[in-house]
Amino acid sequence: MREDSPALETWLEEEGALLRLRLSRPKANIIDAEMTAALDRALQTHLSRAGLLAVLIDAEGPNFSFGASVEEHLPERCAAMLKGFHSLLLRLLEAPVAVLVAARGQCLGGGLELALAANLFFLAPDARLGQPEIKLGVIAPAASALLPEKIPLAAAEDLLLSGRSIGAEEARSLGLAGGVALEPEKAALAWFKEHLAGKSAAALYFARKAVRLELAARVSQKLAAIERLYLEELMATRDAKEGLNAFLEKRRPRWEHR
């Protein structure tokens, strides 16, 4: 049975063992407050379901997500945006079941941050991953906490400081991608059927809890500190406001380096 919203398709497969969540506002699949709330509601509703073994998040259209709403990054809205999105990511980090993500096309900004909270990440060969926030004069709070947990610090710093995008094969070489396939959703489903289906949900709960022991607490503490840095210091700079407004006005930013 599907429980769709304008932003998200939700349904169960594999006799209730797999929760499917599909971002459904192509082509950009912007992760705004509505999308964040829809994801959070679906997880709250279904994560406690007896016999659930995994969640698979994918997206309608040619791109996984262009990222979070730039409008919601503006000073008057960014506190609420960060609070809601980071709460969603912590729910994923603390989920009692495995979380899989399948992505094709652009997987940028908040879209990549969403995937970083998952256990396994399956990519199409055309996938492009990146944290371009620095190009707008701001930073990627969640990725600043999560990327160093997933890949070597030097590689995380490269992506966060440059804002460059990487392809699927580079992502796999860094350890970000669990697999690259022409149809990543089918690859994720095949992995579920081969490795999770038929196992004890109780055993998988403790396996995931053990491997992620202290991860959520560590990320939560870092996110709180980064939120303060973002809201109290970064957003007080002239260039942060200039970069966001320049993007919305479709013009080049005029940096004053302050």
Question: What tens digit of pLDDT does each residue of 148-158 get?
Answer: 999 999 999 99
Distance CA 196, CA 36 (A): 27
Fold for 8-183, please state it. 2-enoyl-CoA Hydratase; Chain A, domain 1 (3.90.226)
Percent of the chain with pLDDT over 90: 97
Share above pLDDT 70 across residues of the chain, in percent, rounded to a whole number? 98
Check residue 6 and give its pLDDT: 86
At residue 1, does pLDDT exceed 80? no
Q: What is the mean pLDDT of the chain?
A: 96
The pLDDT of residue 2 is above 80: no
Domain ranges of the chain: 8-183
The tens digit of pLDDT for each residue in 192-216 reads 999 999 999 999 999 999 999 999 9
**Strand segments (E) across the chain:** 8-13, 18-23, 54-59, 98-103, 106-108, 120-123, 128-130, 165-167, 179-180
Query: What secondary structure letter does DSSP report for 231?
Result: I
Distance between CA atoms of residues 84 and 48, nearest Å: 21
Across residues 136-146, what is the average pLDDT? 98
Task: Please state which of the ranges 74-78, 102-106, 110-114, 186-190 shows the lowest mean pLDDT.
Answer: 74-78
Q: Alpha-carbon distance 51 to 46, whole Å?
A: 11
82-112 confidence digits (pLDDT tens): 999 999 999 999 999 999 999 999 999 999 9
